[in-house]
Amino acid sequence: MGINKLEDLKWHEHDIAIPKLSTNQAEFLFRFYRDLERVRIDTLSCFGNVISCIQRFSNERVAVKILPIPQDQIINGIPSSILNHASILKDLDHPNIVRLLQVVATEEDVYLVFENVNLNLERYITNPMLSIDTLERSVLRQALSGLAYLHSHNIVHADIDPFSILFKYTLEEPPVVKLCGIRAPKTSTSQGHPSYKAPELLMGSTNYSTAIDIWSMGCMFAHIIKRRPLFNAIEEHRVLAEIFCLLGTPTEETWPGVSSICKFIQAFNPPIQPKDLAEEFPTLEPVGLDLLSKMLCLCPNSRISAYEALDHPYLRH
């Protein structure tokens, strides 16, 4: 149970479960919302506080994200970055994308009010009470469907990890997957978790495309099957080493232009050979292995697109 009154806030100053709010933010929130709880932010990409709370007038639980306006820009009103961010989110209308219900601007902050979701994928997988066994395909299909919608709007998510895939469920119906953490289109630089970053990003390429999201989604697919992350390292160069150990090193034949992105790639002579994915994923049927290998294709131009993946036999039936 979260806190309900402004006066209670000072007793929780050192409690990490309670958001750190400015006076204006606290006054605004307690006027319109109750039962405030900070949403656990595990992803590196999230900016601003995300608070789960109940809207006083509707008694509906929502997630509020606070975007503070930088002090030096207050004179100019709402900054261009926040304006663009909110307009893009407001434009998106898809069952597998977390819905932005309302935007409220005050003198110092902009509040984005999202529909509430129950769990992120990481917690879903690790919770023994919730079975994901029968849902593997459905989760992947729904997440890819949301991603295809984003890509058709020319938006690269760039931060897909277990914390940006959320679940909304009721007792009667199977869970609905919702993608969150969407930022600006194409201009955004990826700050996502290294374990889910595409090889072209890990090699330092700045000229990336929607294919980076497919790679991350491939890592998610593997994560769901294995029940643990496919790549475990934290440092980027170690993740790259893990990728090469599993999928082999790329060559100019398998990835035209790779040596111009990554100078040291030619040092792997002879190149490392890829492992057999069937041995790595013994429980996954061959058609699933085929989709996984197409999503985890090292060369971004040959990687499957979100729409093609949705048409893949593994997801069609």
84 touches other proteins by CB under 8 A: yes
Contact call for residue 153 and other proteins (CB under 8 A): yes
Pick one of 3, 9, 39, 86: the residue that binds other proteins (CB under 8 A).
Answer: 86
Q: Dihedrals φ, ψ of 295, to 5°?
A: -75, -35
- Alpha-helical (H) ranges within 159-210 are 199-202
| 159 is known as an active-site residue | yes
Residue type, 128: P
Q: Would you tell me how many other CB atoms lie within 10 Å of the CB of residue 184?
A: 15
Of the pair 48, 274, the CB lying nearest other proteins is at 48
Per CB under 8 A, the list member of 103, 147, 212, 298 interacting with other proteins is: 103
- Of residues 46, 78, 233, 287, which one binds other proteins by CB under 8 A? 78
Asked if residue 83 binds other proteins (CB under 8 A), the reply is yes
Tokens 């197409």 belong to residue:
294
* Through-space distance between the first and last CA atoms of the chain, rounded to whole angstroms: 42
The answer to whether the CB of 4 falls within 8 A of the CB of 35 is yes
- Does 141 bind other proteins (CB under 8 A)? Our answer is no
Nearest distance in Å: CB 194, other proteins: 28
Chain center to CA of 120 = 10
Helix, strand, coil fractions of the chain, as percent rounded to 5:
40, 15, 45
Cβ 184 vs Cβ 84: under 8 Å = yes
In this structure, what DSSP letter does residue 145 have?
Answer: H
User: Of residues 159, 161, 213, 311, which has the active-site annotation?
Assistant: 159
Query: Which one of the spans 24-32, 77-85, 113-121, 128-136 is the region binding other proteins (CB under 8 A)?
Result: 77-85
Sign, CA torsion 6/8/11/14? negative
Query: Interface with other proteins includes 302 (CB under 8 A)?
Result: no
| Residue 76 in the binding site for other proteins (CB under 8 A) | yes
Q: Which of 6, 26, 46, 105 binds other proteins (CB under 8 A)?
A: 105
Question: Applying CB under 8 A, which part among 1-9, 20-28, 41-49, 102-110 lies near other proteins?
Answer: 102-110
- Is residue 304 within 8 Å of 214, Cβ to Cβ? yes
Catalytic residues: 159
Residues at the site binding other proteins, with contacts judged by CB under 8 A: 75-81, 83-84, 86-88, 90-91, 103, 105, 107, 148-149, 151-153, 305, 307
